[in-house]
Amino acid sequence: MMHIIPSLLNKEQVRQAREALDHAAWADGQLSAGHQAVKAKHNQQLDQSDPLGQQLGDFILEQLGANPLFMATALPLKVFPPRFNRYQGGGHYQTHIDSAVLSVAGTPHRVRGDISATLFLCEPEEYDGGELIIDDTYGQHSVKLAAGDMVLYPGSSLHQVAPVTRGARLASFFWIQSMVRQDVQRGILLNLDQAIQDLTSKLPDDATLAQLTGVYHNLLRQWSNT
């Protein structure tokens, strides 16, 4: 299921990131594409070893760890270091599916891509096109969010980026290996967590809270693969 995480970055944080990326050394995105993706990928990307990308990626990881909605939705075990791309002048990415397992460059670590993430760094009115189009079991979704907002969707989903015909589309993208592998189970846990939070705010002394919290943790204990 697709989920929106609003305002992961505030407007000032977006401004600072944009200012830095305006002076970045962008490279052809096909250089980092796999055998199948090289024909479908038409964008620019920061090299994984670029110090700017590493600095901004570390900052995004900090914001993720401090965001309760992201933590409750993704139940992250590992997060692949955020990358950055730019689409302009007709740049696009044809329909594809992300790799199931991703190797972290320069380390022996691998991340299973249970969840794909795109963090938008431009306002929708700054560019034409550039929608992230996701096909999942619930149909097709066209996503174009405000700067600082992030979308999460199953890594198993077919998706594409529509051609950018005016302006430029900047974004950060990465993958999450969740403690709970199955999307349906993560959805159940998120709904239960939100119900517990709602009940806590309305009836903080209700004895049912302890029972519901116990159900949540016992399901997480059963379903987690940590």
The answer to whether the annotation marks 169 as part of a ligand binding site is yes
The answer to whether the annotation marks 50 as part of a ligand binding site is no
Q: Tokens standing for 103?
A: 């190797």
The answer to whether the annotation marks 159 as part of a ligand binding site is yes
The answer to whether the annotation marks 83 as part of a ligand binding site is no
Residues flagged as binding site: 96, 98, 159, 169
Residues flagged as binding site for 2-oxoglutarate: 169
Residues flagged as binding site for Fe cation: 96, 98, 159
